[in-house]
Amino acid sequence: MADRNRTGPDWEDARFFAALARHGSLSATARALGVNHATVARRVAAMEQALGEKLFERRPDGYALTAAGTRALEAADAMEKAARRLLRAQEERPLGGLVRIAATPSLADLYLVPRLAALAQRHPGIDIEIVSDRRLASLARREADIALRLGAPKDARGVDADVIARRLATLAFGYYGTADWRGRIAAGAAPVFVGFDEANAHLPEAAFLARHFPRARLAVRANTQSTQAIAARAGHGIALLPHFIAAEEGVLVAVPLVPLPPTRDLFLLTNRLSADDGAVRAVRDFLAELFHADAALFSGLDD
- State mean pLDDT over 221-239: 96
Phi-psi region of 206 (alpha: psi -120 to 50; beta: other; left: phi over 0): alpha
Strands 163-171 and 264-271: antiparallel
Which pLDDT tens digit goes with each residue over 10-68? 788 888 998 898 888 998 898 888 889 899 999 999 999 988 999 999 888 889 999 99
pLDDT, averaged across the chain = 87
CB within 8 Å of 139: residues ≥ 6 apart: 145, 147, 160, 163, 269, 270, 271
pLDDT digit string (tens) for 247-283?
Answer: 988 789 999 999 999 999 999 999 877 777 889 999 9
Q: Which residues pair with 129 in a beta bridge?
A: 100
Dihedral angle at the C-alpha atoms of 149, 152, 154, 157, nearest 10 degrees?
Answer: -40
Q: How far apart, in whole angstroms, are the C-alpha atoms of residue 41 and residue 49?
A: 12
> What distance in Å separates the CA atoms of residue 252 and residue 173, rounded to the nearest whole number?
13
* 259 preceded by a cis bond (ω within 30 of 0): yes
